[in-house]
Amino acid sequence: MDTLPVAAGDAADPLTPAQLRELYSLMVAVRHLDASAIAWQRQGIIPGYAPELGQEAAQVGSGYAVDTTRDFVFPTYREMGVARTMGVDMVAYMATHKASWHGGLYDPVKSRLAPIQAVVAGSVLHAVGWAHGQTLAGSADGKLGVALTYFGDGASSQGDVHEALNFAAVMKAPVVFFVQNNGWAISVPTERQVAGGSVAARAAGYGMPALQIDGDDVVAVVEATRRAFAHARAGNGPVLIEAMTYRRGPHSTSDDPGRYRSLDEERDGAGADPLERFRQRLLAEGIADEAFFAEALAAAKAEEELIRTGIQGLDSRPGTEMFDLVFQETTPVLQGQATNWREESEHV
């Protein structure tokens, strides 16, 4: 499905061999960090995590198209690959998964990545609000900052998504709605919860252009996201991208996918591994060799160890923050509890 005019200028420039190699290195780094995060949860280093095995191409490809000097990204709880691609400090990012700080310890303004959003479809409204602000403020060079917001096929059924799409279309807000259709809304398959089976098809009802793409092809994802950004940046309004991919494994580390699908069903539905698929393409085109792949893997493993060490070194947040940050005005009872907490903490 492709109802978006071909973007002109740098949005249509082909990726260079160096960029293709960089994309592969990013995908390897994300793959190994994702696998490690699951292991860390099992080991008690972090209490929870939302895996993204199989979605590396969708996340790395879309994140690669972001201009971090002017754009802003609004993630869910599963965009670790986007954060890594944008250069966010991964120890600070994983602070949320360690439950040491809500939203992450990284600086959203500097990184251009909004705090991690755990509310299903909550990030889309924030993205549209920020994007509309870009329209109101304008830009010196006539190129607007664009909001990129993520959600899944399950989240697309939330009312917030309708409100966001409608407002963005009416106001011509520069926002790209990036749907990772990974086949499952936790335990419910797409065909049982998305009427018509396509999220991209809904965009027509809002007068909005849409792209339905192969979300397991990182090059296709980069190209589609760049086209969408060029469209929105020029003041033409929002675009919806539906990246067709597959969630391999659980929805989260507390989920048991074996309760709603078999391993054979998972293998049959997942298709080709996006990382191996890209590797074979680079080999076939003579862009990379085995030495490069070995180097990329070694770098990913070394990075993974550094991040693990950093996460283990994160201190727990002070318990007094529940008194300092949660309540605008504390009652005498709460004030007394805070005093007792501080006094007891000093003697521990």
Token duo for residue 297: 């893997």
Beta-carbon contacts of 190 under 8 Å, excluding residues fewer than 6 positions away, are 153, 181, 183, 184, 197
| Cα–Cα nearest to 151, from 54, 264, 21, 62 | 62
> Which of these is catalytic: 202, 247, 248, 308?
247
Residue type at 317?
R
DSSP character at residue 81: H
Q: Which residues contact 68 (CB under 8 A, 6 or more apart)?
A: 86, 87, 111, 112
Pairwise CA distance, residues 181 & 156, whole Å: 9
Q: Is 32 a catalytic residue?
A: no
| Catalytic status, residue 260 | yes
DSSP letters for 188-242: EEGGGTSTTS-SGGGGGGGT--EEEEETT-HHHHHHHHHHHHHHHHTT---EEEE
Query: Does the annotation mark 251 as catalytic?
Result: yes
Q: Which of 260, 261, 277, 317 is catalytic?
A: 260
HEC per residue, 245-283? CCCCCCCCCCCCHHHCCCHHHHHHHHCCCHHHHHHHHHH
DSSP designation for 9: G
Pick the catalytic residue from 31, 97, 251, 279.
Answer: 251
The answer to whether the beta carbons of residues 139 and 145 sit under 8 Å apart is yes
Q: Alpha-carbon distance 93 to 224, whole Å?
A: 27
Q: What single DSSP character describes residue 3?
A: -
Handedness of CA 36, 42, 47, 52 (dihedral sign): positive
Quick count: other Cβ atoms within 10 Å of Cβ 109? Answer: 9
Exposed, middle or buried by CB within 10 Å (0-12, 13-18, 19+), for 189? middle
- Token pair 């999220």 is at which residue? 199
Would you name the residues annotated as active-site residues? 247, 251, 260
